[in-house]
Amino acid sequence: MFDPLTLDQLRVLVTVADSGGFSAAARRLGRAQSAVSQSIQALEGHLRLKLFDRSTKLPRLTEPGRAMLEEARRLLKSAEMLRARADSIAGGLEPELSIAANPLLPLPPAINALRELGAQFPELPVTLLTEGIGAPERHLRDGTVQLAIYPVRDLAPDLESTLLMEVPMVPVVAAGHPLAALPGPLSRAALAEHVQLVLTDGSPRDGWSWGVLSQRTWRFADLNTRMNFLLAGFGWCNMPEHLVAGPAAQGLLHRLQLEEQQGYTLALHIVHERGRPPGLAGRWLTERLVQALGEWQAGLHGRGAPEKGPGDASPGPADAPQAVG
């Protein structure tokens, strides 16, 4: 059924209420007073409500008129937002932006960049998934997200990426753990006697293993859970340097010196499928993340990434799950 109610009628209602009368509204709208009166009469007929009391010199809103005025303002605002979003999409902005991020992404600069994204594109719906180490690429592959942030070793030919930062990974153990009392550098044999806490997603696909040196391992899918077990003294592991700096300064964690490596770095990239390039917001966010993460790393008071060593990447068997030790 055709509904004769129009946005123009609602706009006239708001203008009459804000101007204080039909004549003033007509001057503001650049229309004849009779046209304004006819528009209000038509609106009253469509709504089956008397919106103005015309018994006085200046029309006054009735109680139903005041209620309809608030609804009219809301609908006009929604229409403006709809038009603005349509214009943005026509200009290359994505209808929505979905991102899956690896937990290695430092949160403070990422949150700042996303806050600025919201200010730059206030009408853009954003979905942010933060899961295990292998989840971002899987979400990208199945089309759940447009962008995925994760460490890249060998990029598949159907993917494109931009380097965001190098994440320094350093070997640490709880201050009360037996390894903390041993003089370094520690050999693989010394480490083999103790549990290494490994971050993994347990996927059955072909995988890789970075920094796994011990034969005895406990595997975790969540970085925060592994941190809790690390602090509780269950074993040692390589952790993002920015996450352990605070506990190490408090004397809760001890940085290990190893013969085979003094830590390694993971190249954190933002990745998209070659046939699905990011739109305006995705490109803006990529550039801002590169800048924000670079500024954040530069402000870490002289703490640099550890040098790479021969044990930086220890590949696992072909059917092993992805793992970060």
Q: How many CB atoms lie within 10 A of CB 306?
A: 19
Q: Are 289 and 114 in contact (CB under 8 A)?
A: no
Give the best-scoring range by mean pLDDT among 4-8, 64-68, 211-215, 296-300: 64-68
Task: Let me know if 158 is exposed, middle or buried by CB neighbors in 10 A (0-12, 13-18, 19+).
Answer: exposed
* 199 — pLDDT class (breaks 50, 70, 90): confident
Among the listed residues 45, 53, 124, the one whose alpha carbon sits nearest the alpha carbon of residue 92 = 124
111, pLDDT greater than 60: yes
Predicted confidence at residue 2, as pLDDT, reads 53
Domain 164-267+308-324, CATH: 3.40.190.290
Domain 7-90, CATH: 1.10.10.10
Among the listed residues 251, 237, 230, the one whose alpha carbon sits nearest the alpha carbon of residue 175 = 251
Q: Percentage helix, strand, coil, to 5, in the chain? A: 40, 20, 40
Q: What are the tokens at 272?
A: 């998209």
Which pTM was predicted? 0.67
* 7-90 and 164-267+308-324 have identical folds: no
Domain range summary for the chain, segments of one domain joined by +: 7-90, 97-163+268-298, 164-267+308-324
Domain 97-163+268-298, CATH: 3.40.190.10
Torsion of CA 52, 55, 60, 62, to 10 degrees: -50
Per residue in 215-233, pLDDT tens? 889 998 888 999 999 999 9
198, pLDDT greater than 60: yes
Calculate the alpha carbon distances from 273 to 35, 132, 146, 269 in Å: 55, 20, 8, 13
Predicted confidence at residue 320, as pLDDT, reads 34
299, pLDDT greater than 90: no
* 308 — pLDDT class (breaks 50, 70, 90): very low
Predicted confidence at residue 131, as pLDDT, reads 78
* 192 — pLDDT class (breaks 50, 70, 90): confident
307, pLDDT greater than 60: no
